[in-house]
Amino acid sequence: DVYGAKRQQIEQEITEAMRQAFAEKGIALESVLLRNVEFANPEFAQAITEKQVAEQQIRTEEQNLRRAQIEKQTMVAQAKGEAEAIQRRGETLRQNPEVVQYELVQKLAPNVRALYLPPNYLPVSPRPGGR
């Protein structure tokens, strides 16, 4: 933990212990700082480094998971909004069939300025498969 988050706590504990020992000798100790800590056993230092890397990977994965959850919630909200818009549009078109005729004419001939249709004309949509 001298490499990690508990470094300050360890420094404080060492400072307090040494302060008492030095005070008995008439020396006032202000603080102890732990910097560039090296272990005699290189495998121990490697194990600590690997642990820190693993902890960072876990934090990164947790952040990625939170981001994915937010993206999922956003996509669900968008899909619900689109579904509601489609449903409302369908209701509007069912209540106003002349809008369907108008839109059909708009899509069939965008450059035509006038189109004459029989008085009881109902648009016929093509069958699936074009038959």
* Within a domain: 117: no
Q: For residues 106 and 112, give the distance between their C-alpha atoms in angstroms, rounded to a whole number.
A: 9
In the chain, % of residues over pLDDT 90: 34
Is 60 a residue whose pLDDT tops 60?
A: yes
Find the domain containing 95 and state its range.
Answer: 40-107
Any idea which residue has 């449903």 for tokens? Answer: 87
With beta carbons less than 8 A apart as the criterion, state whether 30 and 57 touch: no
Q: Do 31 and 49 sit in the same domain of this protein?
A: no
What number is the average pLDDT over the span 89-110? 80
Domains identified in the chain, total number: 2
Three-state secondary structure readout of 12-75? HHHHHHHHHHHHCCCCCCCCCCCCCCCCCCHHHHHHHHHHHHHHHHHHHHHHHHHHHHHHHHHH
* Model confidence band, residue 116 (pLDDT cutoffs 50, 70, 90): low
* Within a domain: 100: yes
Any idea which residue has 């194990």 for tokens? Answer: 47
Q: Do 50 and 102 sit in the same domain of this protein?
A: yes
Q: For residues 48 and 62, give the distance between their C-alpha atoms in angstroms, rounded to a whole number.
A: 21
Q: Do 44 and 98 sit in the same domain of this protein?
A: yes
Residue 1's contacts (CB-CB under 8 Å, 6 or more residues apart) are 7, 10
Is 63 a residue whose pLDDT tops 90?
A: yes
Is 109 a residue whose pLDDT tops 50?
A: yes
What number is the average pLDDT over the span 55-77? 97
Q: Do 78 and 33 sit in the same domain of this protein?
A: no
Handedness of CA 68, 71, 75, 81 (dihedral sign): positive
Tokens representing residue 51 in the block: 């642990």
Is 85 a residue whose pLDDT tops 90?
A: yes
Q: Do 29 and 67 sit in the same domain of this protein?
A: no
Greatest C-alpha distance within the chain: 113
Q: Do 33 and 44 sit in the same domain of this protein?
A: no
* Within a domain: 118: no
Q: Do 101 and 55 sit in the same domain of this protein?
A: yes
Of 66 and 31, the one with more pLDDT: 66
pLDDT of residue 62: 97
